């Protein structure tokens, strides 16, 4: 692929047709994304799980300082600068940051609101006439569990609340103030009297919000779109050489043409619903703000004007043309509800359809493969297409982003073990399971980005490359890129977006490019591509890290499901 977006050569297409350009690794994705935002003339609409305001535009570092604000004299442009410059030009920037349950995942809740507060500081520093151009919300999915499971979970929730409130104390005064300011959805569940430490309040029935907005999407001027698995975060940054301190593999897609209207309509729907909810949450937080804690003003939240048709109509594209697929859920009004109701199940339907199309070769990269439904679809297709061969690429330790090996994560590993065994039984020797490793020993540097890495993240003398991509390719003809993992959470609980398309020449070229990067050698060598892949993986597994040609090595089902343990009380749909 081209060295920079400006130098890239894109094949000509007929006017009015849609185009998909796959983007591999953060180094490539961030280049295309920043160029699109820098060239915006009217609107930039972004919806991400995480956006670090002080991440430099090349993704290589954050402009670190106390409370995450840039150090004086650091002139490298970051994402806050990029969006502020767009606002100064008169571009309306609307940004949806994902928020999280403040009791169950308080660290992610604080991170989300820290980014929100930083973007508000940038907004308030703009000229008055430009401030309304930078609009930000921190949006928690509104689907709550029903009363019955909430009551059953109260002992656990109150224990978690005590830990979440305790985390807001300790350290110097500035850091304590920042941590409290970053946890506004906890304020209603704690009391602060005088200058004392905050204490948890146990007077109410605590809520549970199991769903999140997991998508990563951007639309610029309604004409260019991005979807995929990559957030804007330092930990996600890597290059094709995978020399990052926390090696990472991810895939996104740049969209042009009519298909972008579906992403634009989806964002408009979310903004309309969630900005109104955010107004109420912000007002409630303002009323409950502890003494001495700062909460930025809400700021203007204008409606999206000239929005395309509804997302449901926009996703009805020709069968073989690029099509946006989504998971959209809402609050379920039932006292027994464990999760949300399903409004749009396009992600699951697209996965099923793509598997059913595969006759000879199916290639999958994903963070998880846990869904019983997906395992069943694969097993069924293994019988229906006796010549079908399957390659699956997973991370060594998929839970390093999920808070360590707690009970829920262990049960998730159990679900993955069960799914992989079912797939292996159905395919026999037509199935191969692999992972990605670096070509160097683990670095010995002390850096916060490596704080949570353990021996589970290493094998054969090197770091794993964390597989976070959500990619499927069938018969070198049909491909899917998005934010949805192959677990029930992504297929039926969280908000997800992706694109599926068919292109005989383009998809084959894309698959060859991905394999060339992974294998370190041409993907068009004589012979069956899957045999070439398997041979290269086994040969590299026998070599020391510095002598490997590529990054692919075989992996056993047991290694892919370390720490697996069944726990019946945890709903599998939420994992």
More confident residue, 569 or 346: 346
What does the pLDDT look like over 371-397, one tens digit per residue?
Answer: 999 999 999 999 999 999 999 999 998
- Which pLDDT does position 400 carry in this prediction? 58
Could you tell me the two tokens for 269?
């729907």
What does the pLDDT look like over 160-208, one tens digit per residue?
Answer: 999 999 999 876 555 788 889 999 999 999 988 766 788 998 888 999 9
Least confident of 36-50, 109-123, 292-306, 479-493: 292-306
Query: In this model, does residue 500 exceed pLDDT 80?
Result: yes
- Which pLDDT does position 64 carry in this prediction? 64
Selection from 208, 106, 200 nearest residue 150 by Cα: 208
CA distance 245 to 239: 11
The ranges assigned to domains in the chain are 19-58+77-144+210-288, 345-570
- Which pLDDT does position 402 carry in this prediction? 47
> Hey, is 500 helix, strand or coil?
strand
Q: How confident is the model at residue 2 (pLDDT cuts 50, 70, 90)?
A: very low
CA distance 424 to 357: 20
Selection from 282, 286, 34, 263 nearest residue 137 by Cα: 282
pTM recorded for the entire structure:
0.92
Highest mean pLDDT: which range of 85-89, 340-344, 460-464: 85-89
Q: List the strands of the sheet with 92-98, edge to edge.
A: 19-24, 251-256, 224-228, 217-220, 43-48, 92-98, 134-139
Total residues found in the chain within this entry: 575
Rg (CA), the chain: 23
- CA dihedral (249, 255, 260, 264) in degrees, to 10, reads 40
Give percent above pLDDT 70 in the chain: 90
Q: How confident is the model at residue 4 (pLDDT cuts 50, 70, 90)?
A: very low
More confident residue, 509 or 405: 509
Task: Assign domain 345-570 one CATH number from 3.40.640.10, 3.40.50.300, 3.90.1150.10, 3.30.870.10.
Answer: 3.30.870.10
Q: What is the mean pLDDT of residues 2-30?
A: 64
- Which pLDDT does position 458 carry in this prediction? 84
Q: How confident is the model at residue 6 (pLDDT cuts 50, 70, 90)?
A: very low
Alpha helices per DSSP H over 26-146: 26-38, 79-88, 106-124
> For tokens 């598997």, what's the residue?
355
Task: Assign domain 19-58+77-144+210-288 one CATH number from 2.60.40.790, 1.10.3810.10, 3.40.50.2020, 3.30.870.10.
Answer: 3.30.870.10
> Hey, is 487 helix, strand or coil?
coil
Selection from 322, 373, 369 nearest residue 345 by Cα: 373
Q: What is the mean pLDDT of residues 537-559?
A: 95
CA distance 129 to 352: 49
Q: What is the separation, in whole angstroms, between the first and last Cα of the chain? A: 36
- Which pLDDT does position 256 carry in this prediction? 95
More confident residue, 407 or 448: 407
Could you tell me the two tokens for 409?
């994560």
Query: In this model, does residue 139 exceed pLDDT 80?
Result: yes
């Amino acid at each position: 692929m081209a060295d920079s977006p400006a130098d890239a050569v894109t094949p000509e297409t007929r006017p009015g047709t849609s185009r998909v350009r796959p983007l591999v690794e953060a180094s490539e994705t961030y280049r295309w994304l920043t160029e699109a935002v820098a060239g915006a003339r009217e609107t930039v609409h972004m919806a991400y799980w995480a956006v670090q305001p002080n991440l430099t535009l090349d993704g290589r570092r954050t402009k670190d300082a106390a409370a995450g604000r840039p150090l004086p004299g650091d002139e490298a442009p970051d994402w806050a600068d990029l969006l502020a410059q767009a606002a100064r030009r008169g571009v309306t920037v609307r940004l949806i940051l994902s928020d999280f349950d403040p009791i169950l995942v308080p660290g992610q809740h604080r991170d989300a609101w820290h980014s929100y507060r930083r973007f508000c500081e940038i907004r308030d520093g703009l000229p008055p006439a430009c401030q309304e151009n930078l609009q930000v919300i921190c949006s928690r999915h509104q689907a709550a569990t029903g009363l019955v499971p909430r009551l059953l979970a109260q002992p656990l929730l109150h224990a978690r609340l005590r830990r979440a409130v305790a985390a807001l104390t300790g350290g110097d005064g500035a850091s304590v103030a920042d941590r409290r300011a970053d946890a506004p959805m906890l304020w209603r569940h704690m009391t602060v009297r005088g200058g004392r430490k905050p204490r948890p309040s146990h007077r109410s029935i605590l809520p549970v919000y199991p769903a999140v907005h997991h998508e990563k999407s951007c639309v610029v001027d309604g004409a260019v779109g991005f979807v995929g698995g990559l957030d804007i975060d330092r930990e996600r940054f890597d290059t094709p050489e995978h020399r990052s301190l926390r090696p990472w593999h991810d895939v996104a897609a740049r969209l042009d043409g009519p298909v972008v209207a579906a992403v634009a309509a989806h964002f408009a729907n979310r903004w309309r619903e969630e900005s109104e909810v955010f107004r109420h949450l912000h007002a409630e937080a303002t009323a409950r703000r502890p003494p001495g804690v700062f909460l930025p003003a809400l700021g203007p939240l204008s409606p999206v004007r000239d929005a395309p048709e509804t997302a449901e109509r926009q996703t009805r594209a020709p069968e073989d043309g690029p099509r946006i697929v989504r998971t959209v859920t809402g609050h379920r009004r039932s006292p027994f509800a464990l999760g949300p109701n399903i409004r749009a199940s396009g992600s699951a339907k697209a996965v099923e359809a793509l598997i059913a199309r595969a006759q000879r070769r199916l290639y999958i990269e994903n963070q998880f493969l846990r869904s019983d439904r997906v395992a069943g679809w694969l097993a069924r297709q293994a019988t229906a297409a006796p010549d079908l061969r399957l390659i699956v690429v997973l991370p060594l330790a998929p839970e390093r982003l999920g808070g360590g090996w707690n009970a829920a994560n262990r049960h998730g590993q159990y679900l993955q073990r069960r799914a992989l065994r079912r797939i292996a039984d159905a395919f026999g020797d037509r199935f191969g399971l692999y992972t990605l490793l670096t070509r160097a020993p683990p670095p010995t540097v002390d850096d916060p980005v490596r704080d949570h890495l353990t021996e589970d993240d290493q094998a054969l003398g090197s770091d794993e490359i964390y597989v976070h991509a959500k990619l499927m390719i069938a018969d070198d003809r049909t491909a899917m890129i998005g934010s949805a993992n192959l677990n029930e959470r992504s297929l039926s609980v969280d908000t997800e977006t992706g694109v599926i398309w068919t292109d005989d020449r383009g998809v084959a070229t894309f698959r060859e490019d991905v394999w060339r990067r992974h294998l370190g050698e041409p993907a068009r060598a004589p012979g069956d591509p899957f045999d070439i892949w398997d041979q290269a993986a086994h040969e590299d597994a026998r070599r020391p890290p510095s002598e490997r040609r590529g990054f692919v090595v075989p992996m056993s089902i047991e290694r892919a499901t370390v720490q697996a343990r069944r726990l019946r009380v945890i709903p599998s749909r939420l994992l």
